[in-house]
Amino acid sequence: MLYALAMGSPAARDIGKLVELAHADGWEVCVVASPDGARFLDVEALAEKTGHPVRSTYKAPAAPDALPPADGMIAAPITCNSLAKWAAGISDTLPLGLLVEAVGKGQPVVAMPFSNRAQIAFPAVREAMRRLSEWGVAVLSGPEVYEQHEPGTGDRHLHRFPWELAWRTFLTHPRQPS
């Protein structure tokens, strides 16, 4: 079971591509989005495609969990805000809470930001990505992944977001069971 986690980035609107890649390899997928990420999604279409509800908020304490447990996660697109909060252990959205737990459980996790060059270059974001990598997260960022765009031009670069790379990296993650 893969959890595909989307944060508040325009690239989230294409998360169905990740769902299709995972399904083609026989994986089940649950989509979980931050409240801002959910604004970019066609929630009904994704629920129909995955067979699971799209979650974007924590459940009530006594409520049963609507999703089966995850075997691993791909956070794509993840925002710089979420990267920095995740590395600090802040779980103020459902996807961040799941990511903090996944690292603690030693699950395979891939994170791929879609952000502009200036935000990716910010020292706290660079440090967050470094720390997450040290903790076993496969962080896909930099010119070898795709060239970050200039501020204010993200919508023109959505087609370059490498969903296939996120999926291949997940499949070969060192924490994947053999």
Which structural domains are found in the chain, ordered by start? 2-60+67-171 (3.40.50.1950)
Q: Given this model, what pLDDT does residue 127 score? A: 98
Judge whether residue 101 has pLDDT over 80: yes
Q: Given this model, what pLDDT does residue 172 score? A: 96
Amino acid at site 62: A
Residues 6+ apart with CB under 8 A from 142: none
- What mean pLDDT comes out for the span 132-149? 92
Mean confidence (pLDDT) of the chain: 95
Residues 6+ apart with CB under 8 A from 49: 16, 19, 20
Centroid of chain to Cα 169: 13
Summarize pLDDT for 29-38 with one digit per residue, the tens: 999 999 999 9
